Amino acid sequence: MNGEEKTANSRNMHATILAVLGIILVIVGAAIVYIPGAPMRGSGAGTASIVLGVVLLVIALLRFYYKRA
């Protein structure tokens, strides 16, 4: 029974880590896009970071939802 609890928690941990990484990427991307004078502004890195962050958030949400059931 202890092994089952550990497996369930590690699955939720993966979804949590993906969600945190996604949130960080979205914040960094928004900072690159919206802060005037940002070093990478205009290079497309901000938009790519936002898109990657949203994709990670969606994957985390789906993983968390389907591993719950």
- State residue 37's pLDDT score: 85
Per DSSP, the chain holds a count of helices (H) and strands (E) of 2, 0
Question: Cα-Cα-Cα-Cα dihedral of 10, 11, 15, 20, to 10°?
Answer: 0
Sequence letter at residue 59: I
Work out the pLDDT band at 2, boundaries 50, 70, 90. Answer: low
Q: Quick: pLDDT tens for 19-68.
A: 999 999 999 999 989 988 878 888 888 899 999 999 999 999 998 888 66
Q: Record the pTM.
A: 0.77
Q: Report the alpha-carbon distance of residue 47 to residue 30 in Å, rounded.
A: 8
